[in-house]
Every structure is written in structure tokens, then in C-alpha cells.
Structure 1
Amino acid sequence: MVFNLPVLLTWLRIAFIPLLVFLFYLDKPWAALAAATVFGVAGLTDWADGYLARLWQQESRFGAFLDPVADKLIVAVALILVVEREGAMWMTLAAMIIIGREIVISALREWMAEVGARGKVAVAFIGKLKTAIQIIALIFLLYNQDLWGMPLREWGLWALAVATVLTVLSMVQYLKGAFSAAV
């Protein structure tokens, strides 16, 4: 197994998951800010691990495997926490779409690797945009309150709606690319 700073950052994202859950349920006035901060730091490590791996030429097959697993795990957990608290049908549907898309794209990437066309489902700009908006939405929704008069919760709800639309659009883009290459 490869062990370097980029891989360590990816493992850190996975280790943050129980901390995120603990802070989310902790009944302290600072807990929501702490949970949102942990998730935000995890979002930064998502960017940093890939950037550093490329910069220092420490890309590895193991890191390429673990990075999307860590991303999907922490996002799925954050979505489930927010859905559990909100109890709104549209948020449940949004979470189902986002998590479902991740499962579909992961399976699609595996299939495309088997047929030698993995590049047809490489990360595209729309996927990166979706991820960025999704992380912002979840930070705001985990915090779940106003900050200096800014309605972060409401902004989080809107951002989650936008992320859900981008989720569907990016999935369609990946599926089109994959099926045109496979046929």
C-alpha cells in the first residue's frame, strides 16, 4: 500500500466521518459550527490530495481508488445526517439522486476500465462544479443557521437543489460518453 501525504489526506477524510456524526448529534452551541468545519476541511482535503499527488508526482493506483471512495462516503454520510434532521421529501429525493448517481458512475467507471475506455468517463468540469456546489450546500446545511445576518441554511437549500440538477446533468454526460465509446 502506498503511503504519502496525499494518501494520508484521503485517509483523514475517512477518519473525519465518525467525528462528523459525533459533532452533528452533540448538544452543544458550538457543535453545528464544528461539524460544518470538519466537513469543510474534508472538502479541502479532497482538492489538496489530488493537487499534491500531481504536483509531487505521487499519484498511485491505490490513491486513485481510495480518493473517490472517501469522497462518496463522507458526502453520503453528510446527506443522510441532513435528511434525517430535515425530514423533507424533496431533500430525501435529492440525497437519493446524488448518492444514486455516485453508485452509477462508480459502476460505469469500472465497466469502462474493463473495456479499455476509462478515459471516456474521466472527471469533467460539470462534475467538479457539482462537487464544489454540493460541498458548499452541505457545509451550510450542517451549520443550519444564519451567520452575520446571512441566511446560510436557505442558501444551502438552494445550493443543494442546484447540485442535484448538476448531478443529473453530469450523469447524463458521463453515460452518453460511455455508451458512445462502448457501442
Structure 2
Amino acid sequence: MSNTTDTKLMNLPNILTLARIGAVPVVVVLLMFESKTTSFWAAFIFSLAAITDWLDGYLARKWEIVTVLGKFLDPLADKLIVMAALIMLIPLDRVPAWAVFLILGREMLVTGLRSIASAEGIVIAASNLGKYKTIFQMVAIIGLLLHYRYYWFFGLEVDLFHASFHNAGIFFFYISLIMTLWSGFDYLAKFFKLFAR
């Protein structure tokens, strides 16, 4: 492989995507040693990863450096960070296992349908439902990772974050669950409609 190809592949959007993948084991380890402090840092790292999800796509389009590697890594990174966080939250009793199973099942179904469609040369356009689902999912997971009531801010004891982050997180989680299933059925309908032709 030439240096030119290496440079093209290792552009800033792809590096940001790889950093998001690198954040996965960090979040997992922090939640393995669960406490208010580790939960806070897991939420902080997840938030940074969520920002890179938007930033890498924006930069790739703006600089017109969309690569095949980037198209593969970006959705992979999204699924890894989201599913890792949700699975780790199950034994902490912050999310119901059945709901995480439905989300994981939907992701596997859509990925499989995309593979079949791609093999047939068919492109199924992503709907806005999927984008909204991702936004609500990210917000929900940040709230569920924070979980606790916080009475400090940069070392100061203040009653700034008195609200329960878990309650806010679980509220957005169920909204994202509805959107996840809705967008999954929408994608399934589009798939069969296109193949029926």
C-alpha cells in the first residue's frame, strides 16, 4: 500500500472515528468499577465520543474526503459505543435487559438488510427517524451513565445538579426505544417494497 493511500485513509475524520472505537473499552472498564466518580467519567468520555460522531461526518463532507474505510468504521463505532454502554448498564440495574435486547436485535436486522440490499446494488436511503433515534439514544445513555444526584461541581460542594440524572436518562431511553423500533419497521418496509419491484 502506498503512502498516498495511507494518508488518504488516515485522515482526521477516520482518526476521530477510531478514537470513538478506542473509547469503548475505557467506558466498559470504568463501569466495571462502578461508583459515582467512575460513572461521571464514563458519561464524560461517552459525551466526547458522541460529539466525534457528529464531527467526523461533518468534516468528511466538508473536506470531501469520504472513504470506504470511513463508511465502514463510522456506523461500526456508533454501534460499538452504544451497545457497550447499554450492555454494561444492565447488571447495574439502570436499563431493562429486554429493552437492550430489542435494540440489539433491531441493529442486527437493519445491518443484515443493508448487506443484502448492497449485494443486489440497491441503496435504501436512511430516514430522519434513524437520526432522531441516535440523538435520543445518546442523550439517554449520558443520563443513565451519570445516574446519580451530584452535589459538586469542579470540587465545589454546590447543590447544582440536584435532579436525578437516572430519571431523565430513562425517560429519553424509552423515547429512543420507540424510535428505534419504529425506524426498524420503517427500514424493513422500505426493504420489502424495493425488493417487491
TM norm structure 2: 0.86
User: Do the aligned partners of residues 87 and 141 (structure 1) sit closer, same or farther apart at CA in structure 2, a change above 3 Å counting?
Assistant: closer
TM superposition shift of 1:23: 1.6
TM superposition shift of 1:108: 0.8
SS at match of 1:86: coil
CA distance in 2, matches of 1:78, 1:57: 31
Cα RMSD for the two superposed structures: 1.5
Matched, 1:143 2:146: yes
Amino acid at match of 1:15: G
TM superposition shift of 1:115: 1.5
Matched, 1:57 2:64: yes
CA distance in 1, matches of 2:94, 2:39: 18
Amino acid at match of 1:26: F
TM superposition shift of 1:87: 7.0
Higher strand fraction (1 or 2) = 2
User: Do the aligned partners of residues 182 and 151 (structure 1) sit closer, same or farther apart at CA in structure 2, a change above 3 Å counting?
Assistant: same
User: Could you list the runs of 5+ residues in structure 2 that have no partner in the other structure?
Assistant: 1-5, 151-160
Contact 1:20 1:35 in 2 (8 A): yes
Contact 1:115 1:182 in 2 (8 A): no
User: Could you list the runs of 5+ residues in structure 1 that have no partner in the other structure?
Assistant: none
Q: Which has the larger radius of gyration?
A: 2
Matched, 1:179 2:182: no
Aligned position for 1:66 = 73
CA distance in 2, matches of 1:141, 1:152: 7
Higher helix fraction (1 or 2) = 1
Aligned position for 1:85 = 92
Contact 2:94 2:144 in 1 (8 A): no
Q: After TM superposition, what 4+ stretches of structure 1 lie above 4 angstroms from structure 2?
A: none
TM superposition shift of 1:94: 1.1
TM superposition shift of 1:123: 2.2
Contact 1:134 1:160 in 2 (8 A): yes
Once the two structures are aligned, what percentage of the paired residues are identical?
35
Aligned position for 2:42 = 35
CA distance in 1, matches of 2:13, 2:139: 22
CA distance in 2, matches of 1:33, 1:161: 22
How many residues are aligned here?
179
